[in-house]
Amino acid sequence: MPDSTNSLMNKFYQAVVEGNVPLLGAIATTRAANGVEASTSTTANGSVTSPGADAAIATTATLPAGTWEIEAKTFITGTTVAALESDNMKFKIGATAVATIINPVPGTTGATDTGEIRMRVNLPAPSPVSVASGAAGTTGAVYKASIVANKVGY
């Protein structure tokens, strides 16, 4: 991943794990001196307390069609039930779940281990990507997620 991605993930850790979650990011495009697009990336962060089933935790802006490298990190805190919260987040392209994010929940209170998924996806049409809950979360559980998406072959 580029240095900018590592920096964004460090900001994720500080923002989400330390509880200061920023608003959703916007797509950022930089241009070289000749005006040619040099890179395209976007971030999204979110936090939901006591999420319902299939609740969006973090969702990017609509990404242009093409190949994207995407990294999502998740974290659950608050009042948790290990049997319910473990692995209870999914990665979605548009409305379609494409992967379960492994997020172990060892106990009933406090912080969990961080879940993480990295993948390269081809979007045949413009679409947002998101992290959502699977089943409804426990009352008092706080689901947090951060997404970094970088366009490939711009």
User: Domain residues of the chain, as ranges?
Assistant: 3-152
Considering the segment(s) 3-152 as one domain, its CATH architecture is: Sandwich (2.60)
- pLDDT, position 111: 66
Cα 41 from chain centroid?
A: 13
Q: Which two tokens stand for residue 75?
A: 């974290």
What is d(CA 74, CA 101) in angstroms, rounded to the nearest whole number?
8
pTM of the model: 0.74
**Tens of each residue's pLDDT in the chain, 154 residues:** 454 444 544 454 444 444 444 434 444 444 444 444 545 899 999 999 999 999 999 999 999 999 999 999 999 988 888 888 889 999 999 999 999 998 888 777 666 678 899 999 999 999 999 999 999 999 999 999 999 999 998 6
